[in-house]
Amino acid sequence: MINTVIFDMDGLLVDSEPLWGIAMREVFATVGVNLSAELTHKTTGLRTREVVSYWHSYFKWEGKSTEQVTNEIIDSVTAKIIAEGKAMEGLQYILDFFKAKDFKMGLASSSPLRLIEAVLAHLHIRDSFQAVYSAEFEDYGKPHPAVYLACAKALNSDPLDCIAFEDSVTGMTAAKAARMTTVVVPEPHNRHDPRYALANMQLDSLLDFNDQRLSLLMQH
């Protein structure tokens, strides 16, 4: 019986993907690496250190360690989100929807925990979640299911009883690998990616979710 919902964060609950892109391009520029917006999309959904490692193996810059670049990106994006980060359309609606149905609610993100906590405080939604998990503490990040499985375990929920909300292909793959019923809300420019067919349901906005769609998922 589905009784649990687990949310991704970046690009789903908070409009942070553009801010991640800006922060990455600014910090990478300090080591002589010029990333286009198209290139930053290649690593959406990965952990920050995995993104930095990926581009370091490609560009092989010198002068700053990958750890320093990683920390500078996290510091930068945290500051940008606190300064100008906005809730995604339907954020409060979807949290109220599941709270009214007495669902257990969790968050499973690739972002570092300090960034997650900063975002939840900024949006005043920390109390909505009974479990908050970061993939930084797992051996493997998304698309590996580890962070989803850890969050479900903390909620004392069977993964088969969980709905996962995601916005990226990487995150969707992680949730499906965890055997969760998966809803995707992709960014507008990604909506026609054929890989989203793997999800149980695709929406244009969190506001599109309702009782009828929930009952459809319950039948899966």
pLDDT digits (tens, 9 = 90+) for 4-61: 999 999 999 999 989 999 999 999 999 999 988 888 888 888 899 999 999 999 999 9
φ/ψ (deg, to 5) at 29:
-65, -25
pTM over the 0.85 mark: yes
How do the domains of the chain map onto residue ranges? 4-15+86-218, 17-84
Q: Find, among 83, 75, 79, the residue nearest to 27 by Cα.
A: 75
Domain 4-15+86-218 has CATH 3.20.20.70: no
CATH tag, 17-84: 1.10.150.240
φ/ψ (deg, to 5) at 194:
-60, -20
* Whether the Cβ atoms of residue 138 and residue 147 lie closer than 8 Å to each other: yes
**Exposure b/e, 33-50, CB count within 10 A at least 16 = b:** bebeeebbeebbbbbbbb
132: left (phi over 0), alpha (psi -120 to 50) or beta: beta
Residues with a catalytic annotation lie at 8, 10
